Amino acid sequence: MSRSTVRTRPLRIGCASGFWGDSEEGAAQLVRRGDIDYLVFDFLAEITMSLLARARARSPEAGYAPDFVRVVTALAGEIQSQGIRVVSNAGGVNPAACARALAGELRALGVPLRIAVVEGDDLSSRADALRAAGTREMFSGAPMPAQLLSLNAYLGAQPIVAALDAGADIVITGRVVDSAVTLAPLVHEFGWGWQDWDRLATGSLAGHLIECGAQATGGLFTDWERVPGWEEMGFPIVECDADGQGFTLTKPAGTGGLVEPATVAEQLVYEIGDPRAYLLPDVCCDFSGVTMLQAGPDSVRVTGARGRPAPATLKASATHADGWRLLGTLMIGGPAAARKAQRVGDAILARCRRLILARGMADFDETSIEVLGAESTYGPHARTADSREVILKLAARHAQRAALDLLAREIAPSATSMAQGITGFAAGRPSPSPVVRLFSLRVDPSQVDVQVSLDGEPLAFEAEPVTHLSSDDGAPDLAQRIDQNSPTTPTETVPLIRIAHARSGDKGDMANIGVIARSPAAYEVLGRVLDASTVAAYFAHVCRGKVTRYALPGCHAFNFTLENALGGGGVASLRYDPQGKAFAQMLLDLPVEVPRSLLQELP
């Protein structure tokens, strides 16, 4: 594959978006204050693809993230004058339409930027063949649904590199792995090979750390009181070396946020599974030995990523409709508010169950009552059952919208027929919404026809063959290296947050909680007091599957995966926290017995 002149000086890449709907300030901040070479955006989540697919079904020119077109158009002159190149997955399910929309805006401005498009991730036309071949969901083993809303493979960095090699100023893709928009510029600029596993892993880690925007620069940090400037949070920049040994993570000078090893480590463990086998289309990454050192103010040096051959198959995600759901809330105040709320919720559901059965409809498929403010999401660990002000959250799922329309009408009458103190109707009746479920699978790369074009003209592209990961090419179980012996020194029982900080996230119906020790000594203690069985017991009220612990000794952390823990996950879940975003905060309240001498050493 031909490459431009290989670069030797460091490359600066800034990420301006962590999701579709992120602050539009990020791009302007990075372009005007970041001294960047590349501007990348990440817009896509699994459920986002189904929403974009529906938009395209209504209009053939829809199905992409219009925010991207608006933001890039506003900065186009500055992007051109500074020579910044742009890479984004904003194309969603219609990358060509996104490119056409942006090209039209640039022509109107008289800014001649060359736009490339990467397509081929959409596998909708192959759904019947995959179903006939007996394709199963990769986690649950369920058969493929008869009708899908979307089906997309996760592409890697190779086609993006081809577009950059051809001279593209802007590359728009559909579904690619989030880190690919960062890895591709590194491969293109530095001439890395597709067998350079450690370099590819390092570049992928850089992408993983910045793909969620300000989450890497102090956003969502456990010690939130130490993070300044929330009103102008800095967006992340990685400055990467040509040798692929490591990179520095920072943010534009003068912006809010906090970049230190702890904030970066929280992003490392965010939404990963086994850190020794983070599977991507271009490389299998091992992040267990990654280390982080403060390199200066708001500057962290990251090294230690290792790579192995990529998996032989590509991950794909499909979405499918599964009936309807309704979620409504009421505020209830006064003495015994939590007990009143529970009875009100039970009564509303009982009334509606009677009414829908009388109308010849089936019972609800699933219902959910959560009393927010009484810590019902904490289950047996709740402490505020006597709260005098709570929010009653009612949710239900049903195959027929009519049943949920009836439930929506029956929530408000509780204010005159049930308990005093019910209020909160100003927002009106809730409306049923479709339930969209995720179906994850793996596909052979031969089933994916990747196409690359530049300014509307096709480019010759053929993926470079790479060695693939064999099924027995595993890594040692580092979690077993922690000393499990109980301490013999005087101890004290404290909340887990005294010795650790944490971050939680989701992948479908699986939650993950990354827990990072506050010191190397605290890591040894953490290994004794926080095993998989302890976490499973703590979350037994919500977790219905296996809990697994993985070790990341390089940054003194453990990652826990909790299977079947999110009530279906995403918009399929009836919970108020369908993505487990509060799980880490819950776990940090866990009482743990630690040496008193350790507490004296910690700040």
CATH of the domain at 394: 3.30.70
**Quick one: average pLDDT of 303-328?**
95
User: How far apart, in whole angstroms, are the C-alpha atoms of residue 13 and residue 160?
Assistant: 15
In tens, the pLDDT along 388-415 reads: 999 999 999 999 999 999 999 999 999 8
327 and 403: one domain? yes
Q: What is the pLDDT of residue 485?
A: 58
303 and 169: one domain? yes
Task: Tell me if 118 sits within 8 A of 172, measured CB to CB.
Answer: yes
**Quick one: average pLDDT of 320-324?**
93
Task: Tell me if 251 sits within 8 A of 234, measured CB to CB.
Answer: yes
pLDDT(524) > 90:
yes
Q: What is the pLDDT of residue 393?
A: 96
The helix (H) or strand (E) run that includes residue 28 is helix 25-33
Identify whether 140 is part of a domain: no
116 and 226: one domain? yes
Q: What is the pLDDT of residue 243?
A: 95
304 and 373: one domain? no
User: How far apart, in whole angstroms, are the C-alpha atoms of residue 548 and residue 530?
Assistant: 11
Identify whether 473 is part of a domain: no
Identify whether 553 is part of a domain: yes
401 and 290: one domain? no
**Coil, strand or helix: which one is 463?**
coil
275 and 378: one domain? no
Identify whether 470 is part of a domain: no
Q: Is the C-alpha dihedral spanning 151, 156, 161, 164 positive or negative? A: positive
Sheet holding 170-173, edge to edge: 291-296, 299-303, 246-250, 237-240, 11-15, 38-41, 85-88, 170-173, 115-119, 451-454, 457-459
46 and 176: one domain? yes
Which is more confidently placed, 505 or 54?
Answer: 505
199 and 303: one domain? yes
288 and 186: one domain? yes
Identify whether 423 is part of a domain: yes
In tens, the pLDDT along 14-57 reads: 999 999 999 999 999 999 999 999 999 999 987 788 789 888 88
Domain boundary among 425, 459, 493: 459
- The gap from C-alpha 298 to its chain's centroid, in whole angstroms, comes to 24
105 and 209: one domain? yes
Instruction: Using alpha carbons, select from 450, 390, 464 the residue that is nearest to residue 421.
Output: 390
Q: What is the pLDDT of residue 486?
A: 59
pLDDT(225) > 70:
yes
In tens, the pLDDT along 161-171 reads: 999 999 999 99
pLDDT(1) > 50:
no
Please, which pLDDT band fits residue 477 given cuts at 50, 70 and 90? very low
Identify whether 92 is part of a domain: yes
Q: What is the pLDDT of residue 198?
A: 98
Q: What is the pLDDT of residue 425?
A: 79
Please count the residues of the chain: 603
219 and 352: one domain? no
pLDDT(154) > 60:
yes
pLDDT(473) > 70:
no
**Coil, strand or helix: which one is 303?**
strand
pLDDT(471) > 70:
no
Q: Is the C-alpha dihedral spanning 381, 384, 385, 390 positive or negative? A: negative
Q: Tell me which residue range forms the domain holding 178.
A: 11-120+155-313+444-459
pLDDT(184) > 90:
yes
391 and 322: one domain? yes
| Per-residue tokens: 273 | 């599974």
Identify whether 139 is part of a domain: no
Q: How many domains does the chain have?
A: 3
> Taking CA 226 as the corner, what is the angle to CA 222 and CA 228, rounded to the nearest 5 degrees?
115
Identify whether 505 is part of a domain: yes
